[in-house]
Structure 1
Amino acid sequence: MEIYNSTNNDIDEIFRLYKIATDFQKTKFTVHWPEFDKSLIEAEIAENRQWKITIDGKIACIWAIAFSDPQIWENRNTDPAIYIHRITTNPDFRGQNLVEQIVKWANDFARANNKQFVRMDTVGDNPGLINYYTRCGFDFLGLSKLQNTTGLPAHYDNATVSLFQITVEN
């Protein structure tokens, strides 16, 4: 298992995995991911903020990070943090605790970049996801009604989000 930045050569696979994840979300939840704009993914790749886990040369999992997330985290956005978005696991690799690997990586990455927190959000009040992410090491900080979603992906429109955080140990 290796963790690398995604490249432009990965874009087709990234969108294939997003489609699989969105199709799954549609079977379980009323809110699901929209089709993401290719320019968003290209920008994340260019800025080294799109990541992947590879296993035996195949992409097993992808995610993106941000260093600022003011519309979701509001006044907490001034804290030194990295923000994880859009974790997506290749169905061929489910059950391999890849989110735990991302959490370990994120802690190391945050520490190396002088960040105090690793943060994440999910749309809605989903007890299953809340339990899962707390088992992976996140503290559940509660629900927050988003005030300004201009420019955010469509699934954030008029949304309440669950907020998660890990305090990075030095």
Structure 2
Amino acid sequence: MSDNERSGPPAGGGGVLPVIREARRSDAEMLAVMLREAAEVMVSAGVEQWKPEMFTTESVLDYFGHRRLFLLTADGQPAGLFTLQGSDAAYWKERNDERYLYLHRLTVRPAYRGLDYGGAMLRCAEREAARLGKRGLRLDCVAHLPALNAYYRRSGFRFVAEQDLNRETGGRYVNLYEKEVPEPR
């Protein structure tokens, strides 16, 4: 395992201020490792959401064609990530609105949970939406995870609707959330 794949907590314990930067294509392997790690935790906990095989280096490289990827590091170590895109008709269907920015793949590595790094990434995404002159930030969350849905509501996101993503043919239900962002000063 390389230094970039280390999953231990930041040196010196908690309290390390995270750094968030836009990811580069050269980060793809590390991002794929982080996403697979998150998926493995979900699978081992019996959570139906992500599967490790969804996240290859090639699939993450494909993200760069239609999403912006962001990497959070703590004490120089990869600790979290998220993606942003300008449209999301696949999930939002007729509600899709390009006046919003769409967040996906919010991930905090297990060793870094409880440090509000998820909140830091949400706030970063909100600032980016405001900087781009967007009305707000939108995201989806699988409907069958009440704790995760509650997290987004506590973070100021408003429930918009439940969306059926072809549940009868192996899809799922997701809850759609949005948060207005203030105009940049």
> Which interval holds the TM-score relative to the shorter structure?
0.7 to 0.9
**Match status 1:18 vs 2:35:** yes
Name stretches of at least 5 consecutive residues in structure 2 with no aligned partner: 1-17
What letter is aligned with 2:85? A
| Matched letter for residue 91 of structure 1 | P
Q: CA RMSD in A?
A: 2.2
Residue 91 of structure 1 is aligned with which of 107, 110, 116?
Answer: 110
Gap runs ≥5 in structure 1: 149-155
Paired residues, what number?
163
CA offsets 1:96-141 (integer angstroms, 9 cap, x no match): 1112111211121011111112011122332111111111221122
Greater Cα offset, 25-34 or 131-140: 25-34
Question: How far apart in 2 are the matches of 1:29 and 1:164?
Answer: 24
1:1-170 matched pairs, under 5 angstroms: 1-34=18-51, 35-45=54-64, 49-146=68-165, 157-170=170-183
Q: Check the 8 A contact 2:29/2:57 in 1, yes or no.
A: no
1:114, 1:79 → 2: CA distance?
11
Structure 2 distance, partners of 1:30, 1:104, is 26
Q: Report if the CA contact (8 A) 1:65-1:84 is conserved.
A: yes
**How high is the TM-score relative to the length of structure 2?**
0.78
Q: Quote the offset at 1:86 in angstroms.
A: 0.8
* Distance in 1, Cα, partners of 2:178 & 2:64: 24
Percent sequence identity over aligned pairs: 25
Per the alignment, in what secondary structure is the counterpart of residue 78 of structure 1?
A: coil
Structure of larger gyration radius: 2
Cα deviation, 1:35-82, whole Å, max 9, x if unaligned, reads: 235344213346670101111111110111111100211122134111
| 1:136–1:18 CA distance, 2 compared to 1 (3 A) | same
Q: Distance in 2 between matches of 1:143 and 1:46?
A: 28
Which whole-Å CA distance do the structure 1 matches of 2:107 and 2:166 have between them? Answer: 26
TM-score relative to the length of structure 1: 0.84
Aligned to 1:153: none
Q: Structure 1 residues 16 and 38 mapped into 2: Cα distance closer, same or farther (>3 Å)?
A: closer
- 1 CA distance for matches of 2:55 and 2:170? 14
